[in-house]
Amino acid sequence: MTGSRPGRIWGLVAAQAADRGGRVSAADACAAAVAAVDVTGAWLSTASGTEAGHVIRVTNAVSEQLAELQLTLGEGPSLDAAGSGGPVLASDLGARETAGRWPAFAPAAWQAGAGAVFAFPLRIGGIRAGVMGLYRDSPGRLSDYQLGDALIFADTAALLLIDASGQSAGEAGTSPAGQPADLALHRAEIDQATGMLTEQLGVGITEAFVRLRAYAYAHDRRLGDLAGDIVARRVRLRPDPGLSPDSPV
């Protein structure tokens, strides 16, 4: 029914796609949610179990930083939402309880410009596709109505993301899920850098990614930028737990 709540939200998502002149994608659900739910920004990321995955859509620089912080730190609402299968709502990142839950992420996210973060798993039945994250630049809870809308936006994004996984490349500059080319490049570099580290260290893919993430955190670097340096052979991982910058492979 077009007069239903899901129908209204689908209309907002379709209008977002029409504005950018592309096919409707999960990225449009992410972007449309910002105004509808009254938040400052949003992101979509893939996820598997309790592990954060690649960022596939951001609406501004802060949302990109929040998504990357969780990937680098290995904690945060997106990971908890992916692991639990339910929404994770942090209406005040400055609260003592929130800082105790995410001792690394909460202060870093606050410093990045977020006062509240809300994460929603993208899942249909037993299929888990990722997480939609929303943030506000000041503390504040979602109203019951806003929460209901956010849940429907997440369900819509999940359907579109799962549908896109079976499609070939989308319009120029994006993936079928609406992933911008620059984020796709960062994803490819992270994958390539992790693969290179498995060869350099003789470890599995999980351990290689842990080492990559640990260095990025210890040196206050973005994961995508570090991965680019490793792929370009400007940084190499030593057999011991340390990376030597500007060391050719």
Same domain, 77 and 135: yes
Cross-strand partners of 128: 123
For the chain, the distance separating the N- and C-terminal CA atoms, rounded to the nearest angstrom, is 59
pLDDT average, residue stretch 92-105: 95
User: With pLDDT > 70 as the criterion, what percentage of the chain qualifies?
Assistant: 80
Domain count of the chain? 2
Q: Helices 105-112 & 61-73, crossing angle to 10 degrees?
A: 160
Same domain, 89 and 208: no
Q: What is the pLDDT of residues 35-61, one digit of tens each?
A: 999 999 999 987 655 555 678 889 999
Q: How confident is the model at residue 3 (pLDDT cuts 50, 70, 90)?
A: low
**Mean pLDDT for the chain overall:** 81
Same domain, 88 and 196: no
Same domain, 20 and 120: yes
Q: Is the pLDDT of residue 86 over 50?
A: yes
